[in-house]
Amino acid sequence: MNQSEQWSSRIGFILASAGSAIGLGAIWKFPYVAGISGGGAFFFIFLLFTLILGLPLLLAEFAIGRSTQKDAIESYKAIAPNTKWHFVGYLGLVTSFILLSFYSVIGGWIIAYIFRTITGQLNGISAEQYGIVFAETISNPGISISVHFLFMLLTVVVVAKGVQNGIEKANYIMMPALFIIFILLIIRSLTLSHASEGISFLFFPDFSKLNSEAVLAALGQSFFTLSVGASTMVTYSSYVKKSENLPRSALSIVMMNIFVVVLAGLAIFPAVFSFGLQPDAGPVLLFQVLPNVFSHMPFGILFFLAFLVLFLFAALTSSFSMLEIIVAVISKGDKSLRKKWSWIIGFIIFLMGIPSALSYGPWSDITILGKSIFDAADFLVSNMLLPLGALLIAIFVPYKMKKSVLMEEMQHGGGFAKGLFNMWYFALKYIAPIAIIFVLLDVLGVWDLLFG
């Protein structure tokens, strides 16, 4: 869509990219994965990966997209013509396909909860009953497929309209509103009894709980929450004007993302301990805990509804970016093609998501390498494809892009001190590939094999 579309302002770009980043990853997935993977230690490693790997990689994707102003495939071709590097772009497309197929299933759960709240089914029930309602919702094939369909429908309608009209405008209102409602939630959660146990669980690391799977999960989680590794951010940054400063934008996005992760953690964990629930409850965690917190507030049900709408919005702004990268490649800036292909691709992804939607119900017995279809798809994307894409991007940028071009790209719209540039370059060229390969080999058990 070479330059035919552009964000109208810096803040538009930041909000859209932050919108892509902030979604189910920070709000729903982080708390439950942290809950399973030992709390504080996981959070600590996640933070480390986000800052030393995620941030440099985000900036690397920005550099590819903005310098070429092209989509996820053409940008690699422009930088490294007559090579196979554009396969990194195709890898991003495949990743986005699979990712959106199960992401939309979770997005659908939010819609289902909105219906249940509006129809009064979540009023005045006990902590355990919230868990039961959740299990009933996600195991019912009719419900889970219809709400998955609705979520995809919303995604397609916006992406079909185009970047500025659809995606950018909506971001302006919803993101700040989400922050505000989170603050209210946290105030309530922190003033519950035993709240401090939740704080210690989240912030005081117990490294004895950390194993190689948890470290991989933290790596995957840091890429997942920043939308790094799928060339999504290559696509979004291709719509950014040359006058914008990329390092500053990347830093704001990372900081906002960490902020939301902390907000979600602070809203959920104190309440988990206060209500005597289990932090390792899995995907149910948010859906079981938050209604409880809200039910302890005046006008709780209204606040819960507002939260769900904003949460849905956060998930949608992420799903837009996944569909956008695919549609941008196929439609090449042609408005009528964009419309048509948004619908076609959206429908294919809906069909692809059905097995994931059924995997909490009638298909729960079907497993792939011991995981449910949903978990297997999530594992494939979060813990394999995104780290692999990130690894290739970390190799591509320093080896295929000239240092002088990168320096210039970083200087637009404000300075980027030479020292900081060198740190970024070093992190990308050496730290990121080594760290990602190290973690992947660790999970494959290579270190154990070698060093016993």
- Residues near ligand PFF (CB under 6 A): 20-21, 23-26, 96, 99, 224-225, 227, 230, 232, 318, 321-322
Closest CB 149 distance from ligand PFF, rounded Å: 20
Helices then strands (H, E): number in the chain? 23, 2
Smallest gap, in angstroms, from Cβ of residue 266 to ligand PFF?
A: 18
**CB 228, min distance to ligand PFF, A:** 7
Query: In whole angstroms, what is the distance from residue 200 CA to residue 205 CA?
Result: 8
Pick from 218, 194, 222, 220: which is nearest to 205 by CA? 218
| Identity of the residue, 29 or 188, whose beta carbon is nearer to ligand PFF in the bound complex | 29
Task: State how far the Cα of 176 lies from the Cα of 14, in Å rounded to an integer.
Answer: 13
* Identity of the residue, 20 or 67, whose beta carbon is nearer to ligand PFF in the bound complex: 20
* Nearer to ligand PFF (CB atom), residue 62 or residue 275: 62
Please identify, using beta-carbon distances, which residue of 43 and 425 lies nearer to ligand PFF: 43
Tell me how far CA of residue 296 lies from CA of 53, 270, 287, 425, in angstroms: 39, 13, 15, 49
Residues recorded for the chain: 452
User: Which residue, 26 or 358, is less far from ligand PFF as judged by CB?
Assistant: 26
- CA–chain centroid gap for 46, Å, is 13
Nearer of residues 230 and 443 to ligand PFF, judged by Cβ: 230
CA distance 265 to 38: 13
CB of 411 to ligand PFF, least distance (A): 27
Q: Which is nearer to ligand PFF, 103 or 113 (CB)?
A: 103
- List C-alpha distances in Å: 177 to 56, 182, 414: 29, 9, 29
- Output 25 or 279, the one with its CB closest to ligand PFF: 25
- Which residues on neighbouring strands pair with residue 326, listed in sequence order? none
Distance in Å, CB of 231 to ligand PFF, minimum:
8
Q: How far is the CB of 96 from ligand PFF (least distance, A)?
A: 6
Report whether 350 contacts 63 (CB < 8 A).
Answer: no
Residue with smallest beta-carbon separation from ligand PFF: 25
Kindly state the DSSP code that residue 278 receives in the 8-state scheme.
Answer: -
Q: How far is the CB of 370 from ligand PFF (least distance, A)?
A: 24
> Most distant CA pair in the chain: distance in Å?
64
Give, as one character, the DSSP assignment of residue 108: H
The Cα 212–Cα 201 span in angstroms is 20
> What's the rounded Cα separation, in Å, for the pair 440 and 251?
26
CB of 230 to ligand PFF, least distance (A): 4
Closest approach, Cβ 287 to ligand PFF, in A, equals 16
CA dihedral 178, 136, 117, 265 (to 10 degrees): -30
CB of 26 to ligand PFF, least distance (A): 6
CA atoms of 368 and 359, how far apart (whole Å): 11
Is residue 443 within 8 A of residue 275, CB to CB? The reply is: no
Q: Which is nearer to ligand PFF, 102 or 416 (CB)?
A: 102
Q: Is 295 in contact with 186 (CB distance < 8 Å)?
A: no
Comparison of 107 and 300: residue with beta carbon closer to ligand PFF: 107
**Are 13 and 163 within 8 A, CB to CB?**
no
